[in-house]
């Protein structure tokens, strides 16, 4: 079983403001498409709605909500009520957000693909901010980085030291 996380993370672990991702970085979007293509992607319903309820093309899309009657308007999406159900639907899942799903899967994930963004975002209202959970090098080993100075981003890959490749 492989569980991976992909996220774009700014200063102070910021990942979202007002239900949206506060960057539009084409290089990162290309990276995201490359990394997700053909995968089983798992997301919370707020992230699903932030995608305008459009499934990611070429992916097996899974949306998580505790509400059994959460209405999905697209039959190409699987709704689950417990995030662990995703591990029964595929043995290789990629968590694409948001904060609550990252928090849930962080201790369980084998790999993380983090795009670090160095562009500063200022927000006046902390209530509308979502953040990636804290992690340290006690648990996560940085295995590669690819800094792109023209975009002020770094494609970083981390491996969970505590987990073997198979759960
Ligand atoms: N920068 C990035 O890479 C990135 C990527 C994705 C999203 N984001 C940002 O993240 C933000 C959204 O994050 P979020 O945490 O507010 O929302 P979310 O994780 O997308 O969705 C939250 C919902 O997922 C369901 N859920 C979460 N944990 C669950 C569990 N253990 N069991 C069952 N259901 C569970 C709950 O639905 P119910 O309430 O129906 O139970 C919860 O309300 C947005 O700002 C978005 O733009 C950023």
Can you list the alpha helix ranges (DSSP code H) found in the chain?
A: 26-36, 45-50, 85-89, 99-105
Return all residues near 61 (Cβ < 8 A) that are at least 6 apart: 41, 43, 55, 76, 77, 78
What's the gap in Å between 94 CA and the centre of ligand 1?
14
Assess whether the C-beta atom of 36 lies below 6 angstroms from ligand 1: no
**164 band by pLDDT with thresholds 50, 70 and 90:** low
Q: How much is the pLDDT for 70?
A: 81
Assess whether the C-beta atom of 19 lies below 6 angstroms from ligand 1: yes
Q: Give the separation between CA 9 and CA 5, rounded to whole angstroms.
A: 12
Give every strand in the sheet of 40-44, ordered side by side. 77-80, 60-64, 40-44, 92-95, 2-9, 111-117, 153-160, 140-148
Please give the residue range of the domain that contains residue 103.
Answer: 2-166
Please count the structural domains in the chain.
1
Q: Give the separation between CA 164 and CA 122, rounded to whole angstroms.
A: 39
Does residue 72 have a pLDDT over 90?
no
CATH code, domain carrying 157: 3.40.430.10
Encode pLDDT of 87-100 as tens digits: 999 999 999 999 99
Read off the pLDDT of each residue in 112-133 and give the average, rounded to a whole number. 93
What's the gap in Å between 63 CA and the centre of ligand 1?
9
Encode pLDDT of 95-116 as tens digits: 999 999 999 999 999 999 999 9
Q: How much is the pLDDT for 120?
A: 86
Atom of ligand 1 nearest to the CA of 18: 45
Assess whether the C-beta atom of 10 lies below 6 angstroms from ligand 1: no
Q: How much is the pLDDT for 71?
A: 72
Mutate which of 5, 98, 101 for ligand 1 pocket (most atoms within 8 A of beta carbon): 98
Q: How much is the pLDDT for 76?
A: 84
Does residue 165 have a pLDDT over 60?
no
């Amino acid at each position: 079983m492989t569980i991976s996380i992909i996220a774009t993370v700014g200063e102070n672990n910021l990942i979202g403001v007002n239900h949206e991702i506060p960057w539009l970085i084409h290089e990162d979007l290309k990276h995201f498409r490359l990394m997700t293509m053909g995968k089983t992607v798992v997301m919370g319903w707020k992230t699903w709605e932030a995608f305008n309820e459009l499934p990611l093309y070429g992916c097996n899309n899974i949306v998580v909500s505790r509400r059994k009657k959460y209405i999905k308007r697209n039959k190409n999406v699987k709704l689950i009520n417990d995030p662990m159900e995703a591990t029964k639907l595929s043995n290789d899942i990629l968590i694409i957000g948001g904060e609550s799903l990252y928090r849930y899967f962080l201790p369980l994930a084998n790999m993380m693909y983090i795009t670090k963004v160095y562009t500063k975002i200022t927000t006046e209202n902390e209530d509308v901010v979502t953040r990636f959970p804290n992690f340290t090098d006690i648990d996560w080993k940085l295995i590669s980085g690819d800094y792109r100075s023209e975009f002020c981003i770094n494609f970083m890959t981390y491996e969970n030291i505590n987990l073997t490749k198979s759960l």
